[in-house]
Structure 1
């Protein structure tokens, strides 16, 4: 694997203050958070694939609003069919059991999530006027950035922060540019997995970037403690890293043919 399966660190963090500016609407039966740029144009889009806390988590919605403020039409679907993991689950919570069976008797593996992402991308391209799709995946969502960054799957440009559950074969199948924001302390994406991923990307023909942030842990790009200067800086820098990547490869329309 290019990253390890998730653990308790995927569910802990700090809830941020702020008021969401976007709106929740449905794509079919998929609850989805939408945020629009000032000019309301939808040509250039960012598809946010969230961590296990889900699309109604205020931290994720504030990030979506920030991408919109930078000129992107933003779409963030519910990947968990109303069954996300609440923030700061107690010690002993079994995330792998949730992944396999959920809290409603239905799991959250590829068979459940792939159709959601596929349907959302189809709606974006067919009915919402989207011409180019950049996608950022946080933790759990990173796996599906990799899966849909493959040829013909619908994502043009990829970004990840502290990825989890990503298989090596999914990395190798990617055909678009990828940037990764990684935490210094991360049992899910530790040193050996970072190096393994870097070695694979080096052998591929896509543009790539990996930035390592010191003094932060898994989840920092979404759930950082903003009262800590190092964590606040890293969270904001990772966001700007992703904006710059999308500006180059989505808005800039740089040739990304693999």
Structure 2
């Protein structure tokens, strides 16, 4: 993994007074003896199309929950958000990290370890929504979550993926993509890496290249569509809505 974007380590997240409208359920995660997983759920539980949201390091932040509720209401899909950190998150008042940027990177890599933490949880979530009747499953990830969706590709868990202001990307990540992808860089990402990832996606050819979409949001900061934004600010709220509208169109076109 490479480092987190500079803005991810310097710009504090903003608070939100949004009251989520969904509910929670828990599911077992038998692989690696993981404890039961708490999952936020909104939209019809018997929906044939389901979106899985993979949050950023601030986990169940009100902004992220608001986006989940918005997508479910606007699309008619079921949207679920697993609590991959199981009640823990990076403290919102510890940014920039008092322990230094390396400590934050190490924490993310430990709490978000693909094989031990994230993969078993996502497999359990996908199995659950399939049991409930899901036929098509998409996923979108913010920051750290976008990297997890790259790592998910060999498991064929999702039919299309949204990669929103990604963290930890390397140029080779585009070559790992096996389904249509939405790439949404902000001003906080290394554009050279974003260009290389996009080129790798395009080289896949076929439906991946045909249905993948890239749209840059270079007028806003890293995290603008999730926990690191102030949706009381009309401009930022508008750009976050633009991003969620883009996601909804992308998933409508690919699921």
**What's the TM-score bracket when you normalise by the shorter of the two chains?**
0.7 to 0.9
CA distance in 2: counterparts of 1:101 and 1:229, whole angstroms:
33
Equivalent in the alignment of 1:13: 13
Decide whether aligned partners of structure 1 residues 98 and 248 sit closer, same or farther in structure 2, where only a CA change above 3 A counts. same
Point out where structure 1 has 5 or more consecutive residues left out of the alignment: 251-258
Provide the aligned C-alpha RMSD in A. 2.2
TM-score (ref. length: structure 2): 0.84
The match for 2:148 among 144, 149, 155 is 144
The structure carrying a bigger helix percent of its residues is: 2
Q: Tell me, yes or no, if structure 1 residue 175 matches structure 2 residue 178.
A: yes
State the SS of the aligned residue for 2:39.
strand
CA distance in 1: counterparts of 2:157 and 2:175, whole angstroms:
17
State the SS of the aligned residue for 1:114.
helix
- Contact in 2 for aligned 1:215/1:231 (Cα 8 Å): no
Equivalent in the alignment of 1:254: none
Higher deviation after alignment, 209-218 or 6-15: 6-15
Q: Tell me, yes or no, if structure 1 residue 215 matches structure 2 residue 222.
A: no
State the SS of the aligned residue for 1:83.
coil
Residue 22 of structure 1, CA deviation: 0.3
For residues 131-184 of structure 1, the C-alpha deviation after alignment (integer angstroms, 9 at most, x for no partner) is 111101000100122222x2542111110210012344443122110012221x
Residue 119 of structure 1, CA deviation: 1.9
For residues 56-107 of structure 1, the C-alpha deviation after alignment (integer angstroms, 9 at most, x for no partner) is 22111111111110211011001112221122423334454355357xxx64
For residues 189-226 of structure 1, the C-alpha deviation after alignment (integer angstroms, 9 at most, x for no partner) is 22211211122122122132111124211000113223
State the SS of the aligned residue for 1:225.
coil
Decide whether aligned partners of structure 1 residues 169 and 116 sit closer, same or farther in structure 2, where only a CA change above 3 A counts. farther
Residue 18 of structure 1, CA deviation: 1.8
The match for 2:128 among 123, 129, 133 is 123
- Contact in 2 for aligned 1:215/1:230 (Cα 8 Å): no
CA distance in 2: counterparts of 1:119 and 1:8, whole angstroms:
33
CA distance in 2: counterparts of 1:204 and 1:193, whole angstroms:
17
Q: How many residues align?
A: 237
Equivalent in the alignment of 2:157: 154
CA distance in 2: counterparts of 1:145 and 1:91, whole angstroms:
26
TM-score (ref. length: structure 1): 0.83
1:48-67 equivalences in 2 (<5 Å):
48-54=53-59, 56-67=60-71
CA distance in 1: counterparts of 2:162 and 2:5, whole angstroms:
21
CA distance in 2: counterparts of 1:74 and 1:177, whole angstroms:
19
Point out where structure 2 has 5 or more consecutive residues left out of the alignment: 29-35
